[in-house]
């Protein structure tokens, strides 16, 4: 057999094998693609000094460098296997089987991949062995041209189809593959009297679908956990790169935290509450060793959004969250990981799809919204909202006023309500779950038929009662008492 034809036989067989694996992986989770699984296993096996070197040398191209290197190695193996099989197809078949087994081992070694995923490297093994023997026979019968063309065509079609199908379902596959996130420290059980949902407050825990969503992303960044990394650098002694697996293998904590958007108007909807699972940023930063003089944690998302958080807040209570309400984060809320810092508005803390943590100073870096007119430092203001009655509603019978109050991280101590400018009356409060969460309240009023206006105001645990002055959300959050007008019939 001519060397060129022998080499091409090996090369095409290996391409066909990878393409078949990629196609099957589109259905069982793209990270099961033998090609990607071997790459990810290589990343995991890489010592962290080499990883840090690759990231600092090639930046975000480090993955491209790795995958290109793998193409060259794999092509080389294919050519060598072909050349070794000039008289008999056995050596090439053995290579196909050995590579298939390596692929299976790579897939099985990944803790984030389900059992079914093994079908992808199995498909590669079978295709590689079959195509190699088929081409080998065609070459010996001098009908190689047709065989080469068919194989190349089918391989390209399978690979492209796998990539298109796979990258579409990709993120959901990656989320599913993660399965349950079991925190070592669970958030305390939410007592039944934490909300007054039947009186019109939101439910204490907001579901992923109901959770408010604010971001600058035109399309939700689609990042798979298997390929995601978080870089920690800047004013630290030991820069680090964390993978999703490294984070989930640490002691996970669960905390109930209420997120709030600075652009929320008085009475507005941009506030929600969830059980977040993750690790303490403080633990990571202490491992990295924060240098003196740093006062800002500057976080960057995959889509380029940035936020700057005061380092003291972050060290005390910041989380790198990978789960929300018992599941991996929903794609819209930052999958695979986001920051959650109780007490800070989202735009200066809650970076979704976070990929980079830079320990720096406020003097040096400005987050996305700061040059656009918003304050660099934005702790959440003590506020409250009336959820029922609805504005301009009509009420039959007794009047129940119910709502929400928040003052993360101080906590809500008291909510008062008044009708028609009369005396303030203290509302009944829902269970005090955590100072990082909202607190629900309700009050029954005895109002005569006719038009009425009710107002509410919260007092936090530091003793501060929220300001009456109506301020716009720009630059650091709205203030003012929420009021609702309605009619009792």
Ligand X SMILES: Nc1nc2c(c(=O)[nH]1)N[C@H]1C(S)=C(S)[C@@H](COP(=O)(O)O)O[C@H]1N2
353 binds ligand X (CB under 6 A): yes
Count the neighbouring beta carbons within 10 Å of the beta carbon of residue 270. 17
Question: Tokens 């991280």 appear where?
Answer: 409
259 binds ligand X (CB under 6 A): yes
347 binds ligand X (CB under 6 A): yes
261 binds Mo ion (CB under 5 A): yes
Cβ atoms of residues 417 and 451 within 8 Å:
no
Among 86, 175, 333, 381, binds ligand X (CB under 6 A): 333
CB nearer to ligand X: pick between 47 and 371: 371
DSSP string, 144-193: HHHHHHHHHHHHHHHHHHHHHHHHHHHHHHHHHHH-----SBPPPPPPGG
Residue 43 contacts by C-beta under 8 Å, 6 or more apart in sequence? 51, 66, 243
Minimum CB separation from ligand X for residue 231, in Å?
Answer: 15
C-alpha 254 chain-centroid distance:
15
C-alpha 279 chain-centroid distance:
13
- Count of residues that bind ligand X according to CB under 6 A: 19
35 binds ligand X (CB under 6 A): no
Question: Among candidates 69, 132, 80, 73, which has minimal Cα distance to 102?
Answer: 73
Residues between 182 and 221 with contacts to ligand X, criterion CB under 6 A = 211-217
CB nearer to ligand X: pick between 212 and 424: 212
Residue 350 contact partner, candidates ligand X, Mo ion, none, CB within 5 to 8 A by sort of partner: ligand X
CB nearer to ligand X: pick between 114 and 208: 208
Residue 216 contact partner, candidates Mo ion, ligand X, none, CB within 5 to 8 A by sort of partner: ligand X
CB nearer to ligand X: pick between 327 and 428: 327
309 binds ligand X (CB under 6 A): no
Question: Among candidates 246, 258, 312, 245, which has minimal Cα distance to 285?
Answer: 312
Minimum CB separation from Mo ion for residue 9, in Å?
Answer: 59
271 binds ligand X (CB under 6 A): no
Minimum CB separation from Mo ion for residue 260, in Å?
Answer: 8
Cβ atoms of residues 298 and 416 within 8 Å:
no
Minimum CB separation from ligand X for residue 368, in Å?
Answer: 7
Question: Among candidates 409, 404, 400, which has minimal Cα distance to 460?
Answer: 409
Minimum CB separation from ligand X for residue 356, in Å?
Answer: 11
Residues between 286 and 305 with contacts to ligand X, criterion CB under 6 A = 301, 303, 305
The backbone torsions φ and ψ at residue 199, rounded to the nearest 5 degrees and listed phi first, read -95, 0
Residue 352 contact partner, candidates ligand X, Mo ion, none, CB within 5 to 8 A by sort of partner: ligand X
Q: Edge-to-edge, what's the strand order for the sheet holding 428-429?
A: 383-388, 399-406, 439-445, 428-429
CB nearer to ligand X: pick between 196 and 368: 368
Minimum CB separation from ligand X for residue 300, in Å?
Answer: 8
Interface pattern 342-381 for Mo ion (x via CB under 5 A): ----xx----------------------------------
- Alpha carbon distance 215, 305 (integer Å): 9
214 binds Mo ion (CB under 5 A): yes
Among 92, 128, 346, 389, binds ligand X (CB under 6 A): 346
DSSP string, 188-233: PPPPGGG--GGGTPPPSSPPTTTS------SS-----GGG-EEEEE
CB nearer to ligand X: pick between 243 and 351: 351
Residue 150 contacts by C-beta under 8 Å, 6 or more apart in sequence? none
Contact residues toward Mo ion (CB under 5 A) are 214, 261, 346-347
Contact residues toward ligand X (CB under 6 A) are 211-217, 259, 261, 301, 303, 305, 333, 346-347, 350-353
């Amino acid at each position: 057999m001519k060397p060129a034809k022998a080499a091409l036989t090996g090369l095409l067989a290996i391409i066909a094998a990878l393409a078949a694996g990629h196609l099957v992986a589109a259905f069982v989770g793209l990270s099961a693609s033998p090609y990607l699984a071997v790459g990810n296993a290589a990343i995991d096996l890489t010592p962290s000094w080499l990883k840090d070197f690759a990231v600092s040398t090639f930046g975000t191209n480090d993955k491209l460098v790795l995958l290109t290197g793998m193409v060259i190695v794999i092509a080389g193996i294919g050519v060598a296997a072909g050349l070794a099989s000039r008289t008999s197809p056995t050596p090439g078949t053995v290579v196909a089987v050995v590579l298939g087994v390596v692929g299976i081992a790579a897939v099985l070694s990944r803790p984030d991949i389900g059992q079914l995923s093994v079908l992808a490297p199995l498909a590669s093994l079978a295709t590689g062995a079959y195509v190699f023997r088929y081409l080998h026979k065609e070459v010996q019968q001098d009908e190689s041209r047709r065989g080469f063309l068919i194989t190349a065509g089918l391989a390209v079609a399978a690979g492209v189809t796998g990539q298109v199908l796979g990258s579409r379902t990709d993120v959901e596959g990656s989320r599913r593959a993660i399965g349950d996130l079991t925190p070592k420290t669970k958030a305390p059980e939410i007592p039944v009297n934490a909300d007054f949902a039947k009186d019109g407050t939101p439910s204490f825990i907001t579901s992923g679908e109901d959770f408010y969503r604010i971001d600058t992303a035109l399309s939700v960044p689609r990042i798979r956990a298997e390929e995601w990394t978080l870089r920690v650098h800047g004013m630290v002694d030991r820069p680090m790169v964390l993978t999703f697996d490294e984070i989930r293998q640490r002691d996970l904590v669960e905390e109930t935290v209420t997120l709030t958007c600075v652009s929320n108007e008085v009475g507005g909807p941009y506030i929600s509450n969830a059980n977040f699972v993750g690790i303490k940023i403080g633990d990571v930063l202490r491992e990295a060793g924060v240098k003196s003089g740093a006062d800002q944690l500057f976080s960057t998302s995959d889509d380029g959004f940035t936020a700057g958080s005061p380092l003291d807040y972050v060290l005390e209570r910041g989380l790198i969250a990978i789960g929300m309400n018992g599941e991996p984060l929903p794609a819209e809320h930052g999958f695979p990981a986001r920051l959650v810092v109780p007490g800070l508005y989202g735009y200066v803390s809650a970076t979704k799809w976070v990929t980079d943590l830079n320990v720096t100073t406020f003097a040096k870096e400005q987050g996305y919204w700061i040059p656009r007119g918003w304050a660099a430092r934005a702790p959440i203001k003590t506020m409250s909202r009336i959820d029922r009655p609805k504005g301009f509603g009509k009420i039959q019978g007794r009047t129940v006023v119910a709502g929400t109050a928040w003052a993360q991280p101080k906590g809500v101590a008291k909510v008062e309500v008044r009708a028609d400018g009369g005396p303030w009356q203290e509302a009944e409060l829902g269970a005090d779950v955590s100072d990082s969460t909202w607190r629900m309240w309700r009050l029954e009023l005895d109002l005569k038929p006719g038009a009425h206006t009710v107002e509410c105001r919260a007092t936090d645990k530091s003793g501060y009662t929220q300001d009456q002055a109506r301020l716009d959300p720009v630059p650091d959050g709205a203030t003012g008492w929420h009021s609702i007008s309605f009619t009792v019939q």
